[in-house]
Structure 1
C-alpha cells in the first residue's frame, strides 16, 4: 500500500511540474510603448500652387465748367472706366511657423512669402454723346508680383498624425496700377495716372496637414486674399488743340482679390514626444 501511494504521489508531482513548465513557456512581456507624433515645435517648409483672382480698376472724372468735358460726356467716361481684370498664375514660396499641441487641439502662428504673379489689363472705348463720332478709350493694367501672409492657425487632430485647421490673418503685397485715357476729339487729348502701394489686407482659409514621420509633414490648403482698394487722383489731362485742363480731375483706383490653392511640405525641428501603447 505504501508503495502504491508513493507511485501516485510521484505521478501527481510530475504532472504539476509539467504544467508549470508550460505556463512559463507561454509567458510574454508587456507591450513596449511606441513614440507618437507631437505637433509642438518650430517648422519650415515650401509650397506650390495656383492663384486666380480679379481686380476692378476704375477711371472716373467729374464735370467742371472750366473742364474739358461736356456734362453728358462725364457719365459716359465713368461707365467705360468701370473695368474688370482677371488673373491666374502659378504661385510658390517658403513657409515658417510654430505649433503648440494641447491634447487634441493644435494652435499655431505661421508666416510665408510667395511669388504671386497677379497680372492683367483691360481696355474700353465709347462715343461722346455730345460729339459723335468722336470716341475715347480707357486702358488699365494691374499687377502684384509677391504676396506675404502672417496668420494664426487653430485646428484639431482627426487622428494623431492628421491635423485639420482654420487659418487667418494679414496679407501683404505691393499692388501697382497704370491708367491711360485718350480720345480723338479734334487733335486728341490724353491723361495718365499711376498708383503703387504696399497693401496690408486680410486672408482666411482652411487646410489639412498629415505627419509622415521623422519631422516631415504634407499639407494642402485654400486661402482667400483681399488686399482692399487703393486710389489716386490726376489733373494732367491735356488736349493737343486746347492745352491742359487741370479742372478735369480724374480718380483711378484698384481693388484686388484672389483665391489660392496650394500644397506644401514642412519639416519640424525637435519638440516633445508623446508615448502611446
Structure 2
C-alpha cells in the first residue's frame, strides 16, 4: 500500500535574531579647542578682518542612545555639556579692530551644550560615524578702543548655533568603548556693543573619551 495519507509536518524555520542595540550609554571626554572667530572692522571702505585663535582644554560629559539599525547603518543621538578653558589670548592683529594699544581682541566660550544625531557604519567592533546637531553656548569677547571709540566694546551673550563633525568608536567590551571625534561649531554673529565691529563666531574641537553602556 502507498504511504500515509497525512501531510508531512514542516518545522518552521527559526526567525533571524534582531541586531542587538547597545541602548543608553554615558560618556566623558577631554577636548582641545582650536581655530576661532573672525572680527571685522566696518569703519573703512576696505573691511579689516582679524582671526582670533581660541585654544585650551575642556571636559565634556553626556549621554546617548543608538535607536535603530538599517542595513549597515546605525542611527543614534547624543547630548552633552562642555566647560573648561576655551579662550583666546589677547590677539593683536595687523588690522583694526585688534590693533590699538594694549587692548587687542579676546574671545571666550564659557560653556557649551549640544544635541546631535549620530549616523555610523559599524565594522565589527569599530564604527566610524558622522554627527550633526544644534549647540547652545555662553560666549563673550571684546575689540580694541580704536574700533569702538572711547571705550572697549564687546559682547557677552548666549547663542544658539549648529555643529557638524566626524569620529570613530571602538568597542572594548560589552560595557566599555572609546571614541574620538572632531567637531566644527558655528554660533553665528555676536552682538557687539557698536556697529563698527562685527564677527563670525566659529571654532573647532578635537575630543577623546570613554563610553560606559548601561
- Report the CA distance between 1:75 and its aligned residue: 4.8
Which one of 63, 69, 78 corresponds to residue 96 of structure 1? 63
> Greater CA radius of gyration, 1 or 2?
1
- Report the CA distance between 1:112 and its aligned residue: 0.9
Q: What does residue 84 of structure 1 align with?
A: 51
Q: Which has the higher strand share?
A: 1
- Report the CA distance between 1:124 and its aligned residue: 5.4
Q: What does residue 60 of structure 1 align with?
A: 42
- Report the CA distance between 1:136 and its aligned residue: 6.0
**Aligned-pair RMSD on alpha carbons?**
2.9
Q: Are the aligned partners of 1:51 and 1:116 in contact in 2 as well (CA < 8 Å)?
A: no
Q: Which has the higher helix share?
A: 1
Q: What does residue 28 of structure 2 align with?
A: 46
- Report the CA distance between 1:40 and its aligned residue: 3.2
Q: What does residue 144 of structure 1 align with?
A: 109
The 3 A distance-change label for structure 1 pair 124 and 99 is closer
Count matched residues.
Answer: 191
- Report the CA distance between 1:104 and its aligned residue: 3.7
4+ runs deviating over 6 angstroms: none
The TM-score with structure 1 as length reference comes to: 0.60
Q: Are the aligned partners of 2:130 and 2:166 in contact in 1 as well (CA < 8 Å)?
A: yes
1:153-194 Cα distance to aligned partner (Å, 9 max, x none)? 1112111x22221111112211212233159xxxxx723323
Q: What does residue 78 of structure 2 align with?
A: 110
Name the SS of the counterpart of 1:232 in structure 2: coil
The TM-score with structure 2 as length reference comes to: 0.76
Q: What does residue 122 of structure 1 align with?
A: 91
Q: Are the aligned partners of 1:40 and 1:101 in contact in 2 as well (CA < 8 Å)?
A: no
Q: Are the aligned partners of 1:125 and 1:136 in contact in 2 as well (CA < 8 Å)?
A: no
Q: C-alpha distance in 2, partners of 1:146/1:201?
A: 13
Structure 2: which 5+ residue stretches go unaligned? 1-18
The 3 A distance-change label for structure 1 pair 118 and 57 is farther
1:201-240 Cα distance to aligned partner (Å, 9 max, x none)? 1111111111222321111111111112113343xxxxxx
Structure 1: which 5+ residue stretches go unaligned? 1-36, 62-73, 127-134, 184-188, 235-249, 270-277
